[in-house]
Amino acid sequence: MLRTNTCGELRITDINKTVTLCGWLQRSRDMGGVTFIDLRDRYGLTQLVFNMETHAELTEKARKLGREFVLQVTGLVKERSSKNNQLPTGDIEIIVETLTVLNESQTPPFTIEENTDGGDDLRMKYRYLDLRRTSVRANLQLRHKVAQQTRAFLDKQEFIEVETPVLIKSTPEGARDFVVPSRMNQGQFYALPQSPQTFKQLLMVSGFDRYYQIVKCFRDEDLRADRQPEFTQIDCEMSFVEQEDVLNMFEGLIKHLFLHVKGIEIESVPRITYTEAMKYYGSDKPDTRFEMKFVSLSDIYEPQTSNLVSGNGFKIFDEAELVVGICAKGCANYTRKQLDELTDFVKRPQIGATGLVYARVNPDGSVKSSVDKFYDEETLSAWAKAFGAEPNDLILIMAGQKEKTRKALSELRLEIANRLDLRDKNKFSCLWVLDFPLLEYNEEEQRYFAMHHPFTAPKPEDILLLNEGKLGEVRANAYDLVINGVEVGGGSVRIHNKQLQAKMFEILGFSSELAMAQFGFLMNAFEFGAPPHAGIAFGFDRLCSVFGGVDSIRDFIAFPKNNSGRDVMIDAPGEIDQKQLSELHIALNIQS
Amino acid sequence: MLRTNTCGELRITDINKTVTLCGWLQRSRDMGGVTFIDLRDRYGLTQLVFNMETHAELTEKARKLGREFVLQVTGLVKERSSKNNQLPTGDIEIIVETLTVLNESQTPPFTIEENTDGGDDLRMKYRYLDLRRTSVRANLQLRHKVAQQTRAFLDKQEFIEVETPVLIKSTPEGARDFVVPSRMNQGQFYALPQSPQTFKQLLMVSGFDRYYQIVKCFRDEDLRADRQPEFTQIDCEMSFVEQEDVLNMFEGLIKHLFLHVKGIEIESVPRITYTEAMKYYGSDKPDTRFEMKFVSLSDIYEPQTSNLVSGNGFKIFDEAELVVGICAKGCANYTRKQLDELTDFVKRPQIGATGLVYARVNPDGSVKSSVDKFYDEETLSAWAKAFGAEPNDLILIMAGQKEKTRKALSELRLEIANRLDLRDKNKFSCLWVLDFPLLEYNEEEQRYFAMHHPFTAPKPEDILLLNEGKLGEVRANAYDLVINGVEVGGGSVRIHNKQLQAKMFEILGFSSELAMAQFGFLMNAFEFGAPPHAGIAFGFDRLCSVFGGVDSIRDFIAFPKNNSGRDVMIDAPGEIDQKQLSELHIALNIQS
């Protein structure tokens, strides 16, 4: 070893030891007779002292060192006169006796500090330098810990990690595949897996009973800020279980991770149905760190049979499929300008609402609304009551087509929560969302698609609806785990019966030939004793970012790609030569 | 859960419990009044009993069940009258009260037994059924255990697992890359990594200090029986270390794995140099479970200055660059036929030797050789002495060009060891091979290639030779770990100095432009303070196969590919449609 200790471990108890440290020059301060250098490695920072009086030549040498030089120093551990209690090593310093420059460094293109002066593009290009910053490295250390603890939990539960192949077969269903031309099989292509779904089901058919894998998956989609062409899943599957068993098992995993990674005890993971989630939050991944549930005014009726919103001459409410709102606690004092901002927010094209109605609950309990001329005081009070609004609360109401209005209000709910600081990154709220619809209708293609994937089992009690052709009403034994409004995992009970699987393919518009060509191996496998099974997959990058309290998954990936799918550090993808193309039996087909 | 217990856990202490088990029907025996069924799951086998007298209908139903049906049964645990001590559950049986058929099965195309009647091709096509066989599943359970223990060891040593990207950049050096056309970057391709080599070095530049990853790698090579296009590595790298530190660390890993996976204590891992390995075993991955070291007769001289083999008129020895042999203990009684077999063995085109000379040491100590007419008794006795041969030993000698002869004799050594049962699968002999040549000359391309890769550091004391142009003599700080004659891992100290790295690229015939284009990001990274670093990678599939005592790595891969790189189970690779090709800006270029 080139060192006896790391830069993070020396303490007051090490005083008077002679030690050798290696690391990078973080910063250097020249104080006349004494030069201080902070030496950095993965484990911490240690202060080095060069004394001009006793070691003139050495100190002269030290003064010439630049930032990020790689040093090896030997010296004596001494107690500091002015301690730094911000630093674990802050009680000591090293009186340097010998210094070796292991490597020099050019001045880095940005400062290796928490508040770096480097822009996003520059830091991506020099990712290997950005990774030197403590917070970026801490993200990857957190990721490592989440992986470790995931394995520790699942290993203990007798899950076996099995590696499934990366070079597989392209399937037309789902997102676009990345493909790999085969040199040995002319004109043919492998595909990179979007998930190991079929393989994990085959492993259940094989009797592996409990499988997991932390595995890279690939999707050739147009990238949004929070998507990567390659991403990592915690992929799990179990045999001889029902939905309840899967929920309990992975609730256990999440509790284990929170406890062992974050030191947080999660009491319980509440469950709501998809229908409830849409009704109360307008989202299938509600942020439940705060309440602010939707209240629908459309279905609250006065004793006089007229409801609280329609029949009063306010056309927008009269004609709306749904009138629904939220109560922003303590926001009755919002100014005109603030209310206009909120209206502008919901009118943005991404949200697309036409307007926003508000009602303030005054300190005296009276209600003042933007639609006063249509509703009498009594009705407005009834609204306030419906919302459980108290004096100084602000009620925000939207109206229109049900789904669209809910979606828009869901965005407004998050915006209000942001303004009220209700989305604390150090608070964690987990939620199971259950009973997703099995199928969703695609207007463009005029057919139903599987909401999860074609292997998801309908709820047994809804199979009748399937046979009756009421496809939109069929619920699936499918579940998502949501943390702080982020979908971190999802899964389902699978179909293990070949007739039901064939029926599903038929509903999804697969001819039996196409179904056989694409999934024949799975359909065949189901002929030989498939056990009842169910599973789940967690987005590992996403899970880590939630644990880290950061919105972007990119910060939790060592070498991420940009929005054009490029790795700007290594400059990939790149061109390949004609010989390679010929060997692969392909030619370029460039459209100018 | 559909069960209360697994098929592997019930014992005599569970008697009189009512349990529910799930599993597959392994076999069924009809004994008149009683029907026995062996129910199988991943955890074991349990005997079910159906009694015609008490449960006529149930027993009738049970009799109709076929092999591999998936069953759920509830019943009472009872002590067996005739116990089976081959089976952990052999003391008990279940008196079945209720039976549910969870799924039916067609008759499988081969028996799910240890001695299956299924041929290789059939078992690969129905891999999901082959994986039901206990030994195949046990291989993958062993693999899981090796992975677990690898992580346990490295985590404890403060290695961080970091995932490196799969979609990277093609490099012309080394084996052929698999490539992935980019849809978003017209005319460009990603490559799949042959190893994360450059990324792990960048992580060292980033200060990660200790990195590991159990990671899929890819090589588009023509496949031999023991090669797969996708394979898994345990990839490791450390900073601020010298070769000695790496050897000690990973000797620790190997000892840990043997102890915790196999229950075997490895005393020590001996070290020899590449030069010694070639001299004594004719191989850089000698099987050291047995001795049988090479003895060279070429460099053993009589006092009279003539050596033991040349100058006696035997032209083959006189003209040989090397005369070298092995001593086969106790084989002096080999028949003419057996000796002819050995001669035929070395003359096979794969080995390509021209002949074999033998000398028997008779019970009385006299030596009888196939070249008696050229050598007197005294010389033959001197041969025997040189080999340490005792009465009844057989000396086998080959001669010719040095490298070729050593290689052929190495094969013969293994053949003799096979015949003498010296290659016990339950015995493990580990060995470090050190000081590999840095460069090897390629006659065809008339230039030197890096023996490991272009980032391997020469031994500091040999850098002078590099500057003097004595390229073939330069030794590298490179090491391989060999177990039982199989290279399971290899690595090196890396170059961390940019001038030396540039020099290496120059020697390897890279123009500085090409070097920059291909490895610019690494060369650039070296400008910003690269620490001294070194690493190693283990072939994980290979390591598992060695631990399992099996020659083929395929048995330790859940879904392997065949020698044409095909997955015959899912029938991949396959064709993709024109739309996909167009989106990827490529066209097929089929040569008929």
Instruction: Locate the chain B residue with the closest alpha carbon to A171.
Output: B576
Cβ-based contacts of A571 with chain B (< 8 Å)? 169, 520-521
Cβ-based contacts of B157 with chain A (< 8 Å)? none
How many Å apart are CA B405 and CA B412, to the nearest integer?
10
Q: What is the pLDDT of residue B301?
A: 64
Cβ-based contacts of A590 with chain B (< 8 Å)? 186-187, 585
A281 and A413 in contact (C-beta within 8 Å)? yes
Q: What is the pLDDT of residue A225?
A: 67
CB contact under 8 A, A207 and B581: no
Per residue in B218-248, pLDDT tens? Answer: 999 987 767 899 999 999 999 999 999 999 9
CB contact under 8 A, A205 and B128: yes
A199 touches chain B (CB under 8 A): yes
B398 touches chain A (CB under 8 A): no
* Structural element, H or E, at residue B429: none
Which of B576, B577, B579, B592 is the best substitution to test chain A (most A C-beta atoms within 10 A)?
A: B576
Tell me the nearest-neighbour CA distance from A586 into chain B, angstroms.
Answer: 4
Least confident of A128-137, A159-168, B111-120, B554-563: B111-120
User: Which of A457, A460, A458 lies closest to A494, judged by CA?
Assistant: A457
A187 touches chain B (CB under 8 A): yes
A184 touches chain B (CB under 8 A): yes
User: C-alpha distances in angstroms, A571 versus A125, A564, B168?
Assistant: 9, 12, 9
A9 touches chain B (CB under 8 A): no
Q: How far is CA B475 from the centre of its chain?
A: 26
Structural domains present in chain B: 12-103 (2.40.50.140), 137-274+429-578 (3.30.930.10), 290-419 (3.30.1360.30)
Tell me the nearest-neighbour CA distance from A148 into chain B, angstroms.
Answer: 8
- DSSP H helix total and E strand total for chain A: 16, 23
User: Which of A3, A4, A84 lies closest to A36, judged by CA?
Assistant: A84
What mean pLDDT do residues B465-478 have? 92
Per residue in B506-539, pLDDT tens? Answer: 888 888 888 888 888 888 999 999 999 999 999 9
Tell me the nearest-neighbour CA distance from B482 into chain A, angstroms.
Answer: 24
User: Which of B280, B277, B298, B413 lies closest to B346, judged by CA?
Assistant: B413
What ipTM, to 2 d.p.? 0.94
Cβ-based contacts of A232 with chain B (< 8 Å)? 163
Q: Chains A, B: CB contacts under 8 A, how many?
A: 357
Q: Is the dihedral of CA A334, A335, A339, A345 positive or negative?
A: negative
Residue ranges, chain A, pLDDT below 70? 172-173, 225, 301-307, 592
Interface of B with A in 414-453 (CB under 8 A): none
The token pair at A278 is 């849409």
User: Which of A144, A39, A172 lies closest to A99, judged by CA?
Assistant: A39
How many Å apart are CA B277 and CA B291, to the nearest integer?
12
Cβ-based contacts of A170 with chain B (< 8 Å)? 574, 576, 580
A531 touches chain B (CB under 8 A): yes
CB contact under 8 A, B128 and A182: no
How many Å apart are CA A326 and CA A348, to the nearest integer?
19
Measure CB to CB from residue A128 to each of B24, B42, B525 and give the nearest one: B525
Q: What is the pLDDT of residue B32?
A: 84
How many Å apart are CA A506 and CA B108, to the nearest integer?
27
Interface of A with B in 205-244 (CB under 8 A): 205-209, 216, 218, 220, 222, 229-230, 232, 239-242
Q: What is the pLDDT of residue A446?
A: 86
A260 touches chain B (CB under 8 A): no
Interface of A with B in 36-55 (CB under 8 A): 40-43
How many Å apart are CA B79 and CA A266, to the nearest integer?
44
B156 touches chain A (CB under 8 A): no
Name every residue whose Cβ is closer than 8 Å to that of residue B249 and which is 6 or more positions away in sequence. B157, B238, B241
CB contact under 8 A, A105 and B529: yes
A589 and B587 in contact (C-beta within 8 Å)? yes
Measure CB to CB from residue B575 to each of A40, A178, A188 and give the nearest one: A188
Q: Is the dihedral of CA B227, B230, B232, B238 positive or negative?
A: positive
Give the burial class of B30: count Cβ atoms within 10 A of its Cβ; 0-12 exposed, 13-18 middle, 19 or more buried. middle
* Terminal Cα distance for chain B, rounded: 56
Q: What angle do CA A383, A386, A389 make, to 5 degrees?
A: 80
- Residue B591 pLDDT exceeds 80: no
Measure CB to CB from residue B589 to each of A558, A574, A582 and give the nearest one: A582
A46 and A28 in contact (C-beta within 8 Å)? no
Q: What is the pLDDT of residue A301?
A: 65
A140 and B162 in contact (C-beta within 8 Å)? yes
Interface of A with B in 454-513 (CB under 8 A): 496-497
Per residue in B2-55, pLDDT tens? Answer: 999 999 999 999 999 999 999 999 999 999 899 999 999 999 999 999 999 999
User: Which of A200, A212, A240, A235 lies closest to A156, judged by CA?
Assistant: A212
A106 touches chain B (CB under 8 A): yes
* Identity at B434, one-letter amino acid code: L
CB contact under 8 A, A207 and B40: yes
Measure CB to CB from residue A570 to each of B3, B168, B208 and give the nearest one: B168
CB contact under 8 A, A567 and B148: no
CB contact under 8 A, B137 and A573: no
Instruction: Locate the chain B residue with the closest alpha carbon to A199.
Output: B559
CB contact under 8 A, B105 and A203: no
A312 and A369 in contact (C-beta within 8 Å)? no
CB contact under 8 A, B573 and A528: no
Interface of B with A in 68-87 (CB under 8 A): 68-70, 72
CB contact under 8 A, B102 and A190: no
How many Å apart are CA A159 and CA A148, to the nearest integer?
14
Which residue intervals of A282-335 are DSSP H helices?
Answer: 315-319
User: Which of B360, B368, B378, B370 lies closest to B302, judged by CA?
Assistant: B378
Cβ-based contacts of A589 with chain B (< 8 Å)? 581-582, 585-587
Name every residue whose Cβ is closer than 8 Å to that of residue B282 and which is 6 or more positions away in sequence. B294, B324, B405, B406, B407, B408, B409, B410, B413
* Identity at A339, one-letter amino acid code: L
Instruction: Locate the chain B residue with the closest alpha carbon to A179.
Output: B180
How many Å apart are CA B152 and CA A5, to the nearest integer?
22
**Strand order through the sheet with A230-239:** A160-161, A210-218, A230-239, A533-539, A486-493, A478-483, A430-434, A271-273
Cβ-based contacts of A230 with chain B (< 8 Å)? 165-167
CB contact under 8 A, A582 and B569: no
3-state SS of B143-208?
A: HHHHHHHHHHHHHHCCCEECCCCCCECCCCCCCCCCEEECCCCCCCEEECCCCCHHHHHHHHHCCC
What mean pLDDT do residues B408-423 have? 97
The token pair at A121 is 């593009």
- At residue A274, the 3 state secondary structure works out as helix
Per residue in B94-110, pLDDT tens? Answer: 999 999 999 999 999 99
SS3 content of chain B, % helix, strand, coil (to 5): 30, 25, 45
Tell me the nearest-neighbour CA distance from A125 into chain B, angstroms.
Answer: 9
Q: Give me chain B's average pLDDT, please.
A: 94
User: Which of B425, B422, B419, B457 lies closest to B438, judged by CA?
Assistant: B457
CB contact under 8 A, A528 and B206: no
